[in-house]
Amino acid sequence: MKDYYTVEEVAEKLGVTTRTIRNYQKTNQLKGTKIGGQWRFSYKDVASLIGEPFEDPLLSFASIRSEKQIPESLLAIDFFIESEELLQQQKKIVIDEFNALYSGESRRFYFEKINPTMARFTLVGPLKYVTTFGQWIETILSPPK
């Protein structure tokens, strides 16, 4: 994953103008880092701006693994974005299904748009949950035959 984004990249991702991004900076709604005279923004900074707390599932999985009393699995499913419209449909279907069927802190689901052409669903939890829900997600991402 890319570490930092430019003003232009953040504006494009959020569907706003670069002036809006600069206004967010001035009002401290968006924190950034000046590198080589240009502003850069981390994924975490951008996620905070739009109200999505970011927790990297791979890092949290590794850091709390030693504290766990039960076995836990992690599955990351990377897939190509065929179109933004299809991506939003797929994301909604998967999130609605997760919210309808799965609860409890032992089961977690994450979505991340890695770049303009690739996205990722990440599942964390008991092996049966991870494999079952992972297989179901695959059917959503696979084109009909």
- How many other β-carbons are positioned within 10 Å of the β-carbon of residue 52? 13
**Which pTM does this prediction carry?**
0.53
Q: What is the reported pLDDT for 107? A: 77
Convert the pLDDT of each residue in 90-109 to its tens digit: 888 888 887 777 666 677 77
Domain ranges of the chain: 4-49, 57-141
Q: How confident is the model at residue 62 (pLDDT cuts 50, 70, 90)?
A: low
Q: How confident is the model at residue 71 (pLDDT cuts 50, 70, 90)?
A: confident
Given a cut of 60, whether residue 52 has pLDDT beyond it is no
- CATH architecture type of domain 57-141: 2-Layer Sandwich (3.30)
Short-list 111, 16, 102, CA closest to 54 = 111
35's enclosing H/E stretch is strand 33-35
Q: What is the reported pLDDT for 97? A: 83
Burial class of residue 117, CB neighbours in 10 A (0-12, 13-18, 19+): exposed
Whether 82 and 101 have beta carbons less than 8 Å apart is answered as no
CATH node for 4-49: 1.10.1660.10
What is the pLDDT averaged over residues 43-58? 66
Helix boundaries (H) for the chain: 7-14, 18-26, 43-49, 57-64, 84-101, 127-141
Cβ neighbors of 70 (< 8 A, separation 6 or more) are 106, 126
